[in-house]
Amino acid sequence: MDQASLFSLLSFGPDGWGMRFVEGLVVTVEVSVAAYCISLILGLIGAGAKLSNSKVARGIADLYTTLVRALPELLLLLLIYFSGADALKFILSLISEDFEDFEINTFAAAVAALGFIGGAYMTEVMRGAILSIPNSQIEAAKACGMSRFLTLRRVILPQMLRYALPGMGNLWLSATKDSSLISVLGNTQDLLFMGYRASAVTKHYGFFYSVAAILFLAITIISMIVIKMLEARVNRGYR
């Protein structure tokens, strides 16, 4: 097969894989964004727990980050995917018998699992960022009579962003790459899954996996530009 016909396989028409790859790209970005949002929330909670006075909260947060960071992402993904589905099924079966053949949405389960994994890494990033804020800032807020929540919203969050952003940027890049793991779960329609499908059907493995890799690279390039811009913005008062 010559070069031209290889690229005709990528056309956007009904015979080409072009549109499928664009759909895959969208799914990958959607999964990454959703998982990243969950990891942001878990990261904030985790960092709060790690810095809290409660021994129990610290213990749970430590267990969370240690376990997640010691286990392979693939294993965690499968474990959470299966256990999440089973737990939901169990809860729903308590509510009503109508949910007997309830099937969990692969997309939602994958997002939950990836978010849970990212949350552990995010916890460490946020914890470091909060610790980087000069203590006097928090004392000043206290002296002004700000409540703890107000201190968090007006002093800690805006200032920690500057320290957290490099780590958060890295985690976003890993989130986009880790999202490729969900193709293992089966019919996920994400970018790598499309590469898998297209190459399995056409037998042009090298070509279609390269296409998928190049599209991942495109996500990375755009993300890096946006992260640069964001970093310049949060640092605008400091240079």
Partner 1 sequence: MDDSLALFIEIVPTLLAAVPVTLVLTFLSAVIGNTLALPVAVGSLSPHIYLRYPSLFYIFVMRGTPLLAQTYLIYYGLGELFPGTWVQQSFLWPYLRDGFWYAIFAFSLNTAGYTGEILRGAILAVPKGEIEAARAYGFSRFLIFWRVTLPRAIQICLPTMTGETILLLKATSLASLITVWEVMGTARQIQKVTFRVYEPLIAAGILYILMVFILTRLMMVVEQSINRHRLASV
Query: Residues interacting with partner 1, by CB under 8 A?
Result: 67, 70-75, 78-79, 82-83, 86, 173, 177-178, 180-181, 183-184, 192, 195-196, 199, 203-206, 209-210, 212-213, 216-217, 220-221
Smaller CB distance to partner 1: residue 41 or 67? 67
Contacts of 238 (CB under 8 A, 6+ apart): 162
Smaller CB distance to partner 1: residue 24 or 43? 24
Of the candidates 130, 113, 125, 123, the one whose C-alpha atom is nearest the C-alpha of residue 62 is 123
Q: Are 120 and 46 in contact (CB under 8 A)?
A: yes
Of the candidates 178, 221, 219, 195, the one whose C-alpha atom is nearest the C-alpha of residue 24 is 195
Smaller CB distance to partner 1: residue 86 or 139? 86
How many other C-beta atoms are found inside a 10 Å radius of the C-beta of residue 204?
17
Contacts of 143 (CB under 8 A, 6+ apart): none
Smaller CB distance to partner 1: residue 44 or 215? 215
| SS3 call for 117 | helix
* Shortest CB 149 distance to partner 1, Å: 35
The C-alpha atoms of residue 123 and residue 187 are separated, in whole angstroms, by: 31
* Shortest CB 52 distance to partner 1, Å: 25
* Shortest CB 197 distance to partner 1, Å: 12
* Shortest CB 53 distance to partner 1, Å: 28
* Shortest CB 38 distance to partner 1, Å: 19
Smaller CB distance to partner 1: residue 70 or 229? 70
The CA-atom distances, in angstroms, between 57 and each of 39, 46, 51, 63, 135 are 18, 9, 9, 10, 22
* Shortest CB 180 distance to partner 1, Å: 4
Smaller CB distance to partner 1: residue 144 or 200? 200
